[in-house]
Amino acid sequence: MRTADIRRRFLDFFAARDHTVVPSAPLPTPDATLLFVNAGMVPFKPYLTGEAPAPWARATSVQKCVRTLDIEEVGRTTRHGSFFQMNGNFSFGDYFKEEAIAFAWELSTAPVTGGGYGLDPDRIWVTVHHSDDESRALWRRVAGLPDERIVARGDEDNLWSMGVPGPCGPCSELYYDRGPELGRAGGPAVDEDRYMEFWNLVFMQYERGEGPGKSGYPVLGELPRRNIDTGMGLERMATLLQGAANLYETDEVRPVLERAAALAGVRYGSGAEDDVRLRVVADHVRTALMLLADGTSPGNEGRGYVLRRILRRSVRAMRRLGYGDPALVDLLAVARDSMAPGYPEVADGFERIADRAAGEEEAFGATLRQGTTVLDTAVARVKASGGRRLPGAEAFLLHDTYGFPVDLTLEMAAEQGVEVDREGFAALMREQRERARADARARKAGGTGTTALRPVLDTHGPTDWLAWSALTTASRILALLGPDGPLAAAREGEIVTAVLDRTPFYAESGGQESDAGTLSGASAEAEVLDVQRPLPGLVTHQVRVMSGELAVGDAVRAAVDPEWRLGARQAHSGTHVLHAALRQVLGPTALQSGSYNRPGHLRLDFPWRGGLSPAARSEIEEAANQALRRDLPVAVRWMTLPEAKELGALALFEETYGEKVRVVEIGGAWSRELCGGTHVEHASQIGTVALTAESSVGAGMRRLEAAVGIEGFGYLARERDLAARIAEQLQAPRAELPDRIAALLERLKTADRENQRLRRRETAARAERLAAGAVDAGGVLVVTAATDEGAAGARELATAVRDALPARRPGVVAVGAATGDRAVLATAVTGAARGLGLDASALVKRLLDGRGGGSAEAAQGGGLPAGRLESVLASVPDEVARARAAQG
């Protein structure tokens, strides 16, 4: 049974039992604690925890998931995969244990002709929590399982929670005995390779308190509503039903593995190391395909960095298999054909997917070349100092600055006899992750932890959010929070987080900056600095008390600055217009992958290889302003997500959408996007869109920036005034400025070429003079000198002097240059000197205490205190004489 059939059969089974089929959420998730959806329940988390009312009593889904915590283990074992799919059925206060167990047993064991999976019931084992006598009894009664195949386990295995205070409950896992050839008898407690877990039924019925991760926390009592959350691993069920040895040999993964093997000219199963590399490629290419299809782009932070790492690990694995040509597009096409039956979007968007992957592979080639040079220099420095351990900071620099995979650093360092301080590297990585997480949490909560905000939401319910329809509201302060928790009041000068019962303020999202404005009470005035939505349904306001005192329970007038809102609407609508103009000019693959807009300004990121020509920029700007000139109408429509997709609406994958979505149209189909932002009523209200910059923001990613509204007119006015001043200074009409400036630049280039010619002549003459004054050191001509022309001048003069020395005589040259309080040193040796074993790189390292490097012919080092330059140069003849004497 193919994986796509297993998926379809699962959804059909539960749909026939009154479950609403919910489409898979995109992999990127707005959850501040996650980068990607990593479990099937994540999209349902607000409903399971009670943060929001569930739209359905029962639901079912097949959710795409990415989990990268154990990415280093991918390929090394056949259990780990970074992308997987989780079949799930959910009950929100409807059915509970008996129905969940009955559903799981029926679907697992019913014959294929009857809509089930046809698993042999005599080979199924289950686990239950040791205290859950009810589940044990149900398995006996509903499924007829004997006691010896119902295994009791402790909290670590069979008590589920999210790792933080909130819902928890016992769970029951289903395992399938794959046969004695795969391990020992005795059930899952004995061997989890032979007995493969394929389904987990979670019975959420308790509330847990503070405590360590999986066990040891107090259970506070019963939940007001009991929920069901189950997860069946789709790849695991495919492994069982297809008779595969592991997930890498199932129908959605094996074709990529086989194509990688064919490209590299190896055979899967012929060698352990090659098998690991092939599994890495198969898993990572499929993961990259799904992330790219869901709108993630390679980058240096967050989700983008995860994708970049996965793509680069794939490329590196192919190179270690001996295949050095570009491979990603070829492999992604195979993954596309495997995944398209379940996810048509991977085929629909493949041109864009392939283009981004190709750009990343090309950029990684340059990274490998640059990183290898940096690593070689660092290793040489360690060895020159007598060490054999590369500091963790060096490995982190390679990883963080150059995108060099740490496993590649480990391997290449080992090849040169140096180990890497992995503990130091790991510590720096942890610090970086913690900083990023802390920043994300603080930003989402306006500086207040979500734990302190949850009781506010539980007590008062969701904020009545009126940003689409109002600029002012009569509101009441429900809570005030400072860095240390809840406050009764806030006084003049204090910055606090305020929660209101209703608000007209737009909370930052979808690339739009939050509104500015004020809260005014009977005896207080506060400035609104930031507005966020840290929990689903809850809006928070970071405010500075300007006068008086704000207190919980106060009635206030919440007022958005109308000029700010107008500018924000112009900028957000301008972003949609620019996006549509971009696609009109460049084609449908130029999809927005990120944006930011605030009053008067916007920026838009999109995948594109190479900079845009001036003509293309001009055409995009003209297409945008033509839309404004035609005064295209702006309309907002509500519909289901499938209806929006059918209509062709573009979705930003960083957002999470409910049953009904908000579609913003500008000129009907010309611009149709899912969006929760504030917008103008007609395109002409945007005023103007003036492109101010176009730049690169990473491999295969470009950024457009523009000024809109009154700021756009101001930008154009400044450009006009600048052109007028230049025309006045050059005494030329504006129309002639390009030709006049081009002529001036040509004259400057001619003068620069002449200056360089004279400089080379002067350097050659000085080199001749210095060569003539060479001193003899152990039979070697030695020249030392200083220059005031920096590192480049030192290199140039050292080479020129070397070339001026008699060709048959061994010669060594050292030239120093001081810049501020530091100096550099350049060395060069003649061919005859190299024949005696003299080495420019070794010499510069001896003179600079291990710093520096280069080739045997020419080398350079820095970091020398400027005050020591004269004495170092004076020591060169003695160093050369000692080197000759040491060689006998």
Task: Tell me the C-alpha distance between 816 and 795, whole Å.
Answer: 9
DSSP string, 698-759: STTEEEEEEEEHHHHHHHHHHHHHHHHHHHHHHT--GGGHHHHHHHHHHHHHHHHHHHHHHH
Q: What is the dotted CATH code of the domain comprising 766-886?
A: 3.10.310.40
Q: Pairing between strand 660-666 and 83-92? A: unpaired
List, for residues 221-262, the tens digit of each pLDDT value: 888 889 999 999 999 999 999 999 889 999 999 999 999 999
Task: Tell me the C-alpha distance between 357 and 700, whole Å.
Answer: 9
Q: What is the mean pLDDT of residues 669-673?
A: 93
Q: What is the mean pLDDT of residues 323-335?
A: 93
The number of beta carbons lying within 10 Å of the beta carbon of residue 877 is 21
Any binding-site annotation on 675? Answer: yes
**Which residues make beta-bridge pairs with 824?**
817
Any binding-site annotation on 19? Answer: no
pLDDT for residue 402 is more than 80? no
Q: What is the mean pLDDT of residues 862-877?
A: 90
**Which residues make beta-bridge pairs with 602?**
597, 706
CB 82 within 8 A of CB 283: yes
Q: What is the mean pLDDT of residues 668-683?
A: 93
Q: What is the mean pLDDT of residues 763-781?
A: 91
Task: Tell me the C-alpha distance between 410 and 403, whole Å.
Answer: 14
pLDDT for residue 31 is more than 90? no
| Buried-exposed string 201-214: b where 16+ CB fall within 10 A, e elsewhere | bbbbbbbbeeeeee
Task: Tell me the C-alpha distance between 590 and 795, whole Å.
Answer: 45
Task: Tell me the C-alpha distance between 532 and 490, whole Å.
Answer: 19
Q: Decide which of 2.60.40.1220, 3.40.50.300, 2.40.30.130, 2.40.50.180 is the CATH code for 445-560.
A: 2.40.30.130
Output the pLDDT for position 444: 47
Would you state the structure tokens that stand for residue 44, as one six-digit string?
Answer: 């349902």
Any binding-site annotation on 572? Answer: yes
pLDDT for residue 446 is more than 50? no
Task: Name the nearest CA neighbour of 475 among 490, 464, 459.
Answer: 464
Task: Name the nearest CA neighbour of 723 among 739, 738, 743.
Answer: 738
Q: What is the mean pLDDT of residues 665-673?
A: 94
Output the pLDDT for position 167: 85
At the topology level, CATH places domain 3-244 in BirA Bifunctional Protein; domain 2 (3.30.930)
Q: What is the mean pLDDT of residues 25-37?
A: 80
Backbone angles phi, psi at 780, to 5 degrees: -115, 130
Task: Tell me the C-alpha distance between 818 and 499, whole Å.
Answer: 60
Tell me, letter by letter, the H, E, C secondary structure of 179-199: CHHHCCCCCCCCCCCCEEEEE
Any binding-site annotation on 80? Answer: no
Of 441-445, 552-556, 742-746, 796-800, the one with minimum mean pLDDT is 441-445
pLDDT tier for residue 384 given thresholds of 50, 70 and 90: confident
Output the pLDDT for position 467: 94
Task: Name the nearest CA neighbour of 839 among 398, 468, 384.
Answer: 384
Output the pLDDT for position 697: 77
Output the pLDDT for position 531: 95
Mean pLDDT of the chain: 89
For 608, the 3-state DSSP assignment is coil
Of 83-97, 409-423, 609-623, the one with minimum mean pLDDT is 409-423
DSSP strands (E only) in 483-537: 485-487, 489-491, 495-500, 502-503, 517-520, 524-535
Output the pLDDT for position 820: 82
For 804, the 3-state DSSP assignment is helix
Q: What is the pTM of this model?
A: 0.64
Tell me, letter by letter, the H, E, C secondary structure of 99-129: HHHHHHHHHHHCCHHHCCCCCCHHHEEEEEE
Output the pLDDT for position 442: 52
Output the pLDDT for position 657: 59
pLDDT for residue 340 is more than 90? yes
More confident residue, 451 or 791: 791
pLDDT for residue 653 is more than 60? no
pLDDT tier for residue 652 given thresholds of 50, 70 and 90: low
CB 395 within 8 A of CB 409: yes
Would you state the structure tokens that stand for residue 835, as one six-digit string?
Answer: 């024949």
pLDDT tier for residue 434 given thresholds of 50, 70 and 90: low
CB 129 within 8 A of CB 158: yes
Output the pLDDT for position 149: 95
Percent of the chain with pLDDT over 70: 95
- Over the Cα atoms of the chain, what is R_g? 34
pLDDT tier for residue 450 given thresholds of 50, 70 and 90: low
Using left for φ > 0, alpha for ψ between -120 and 50, and beta otherwise, residue 31 falls in: beta
pLDDT for residue 204 is more than 80? yes
Output the pLDDT for position 654: 47
**Which residues make beta-bridge pairs with 105?**
none
Q: Decide which of 3.30.465.10, 3.10.450.40, 3.30.980.10, 3.20.20.100 is the CATH code for 565-712.
A: 3.30.980.10
CB 515 within 8 A of CB 566: no
Task: Name the nearest CA neighbour of 233 among 215, 252, 214.
Answer: 252
Task: Name the nearest CA neighbour of 811 among 770, 754, 860, 863.
Answer: 770
Angle between helices 876-886 and 840-847 (to 10 degrees): 120
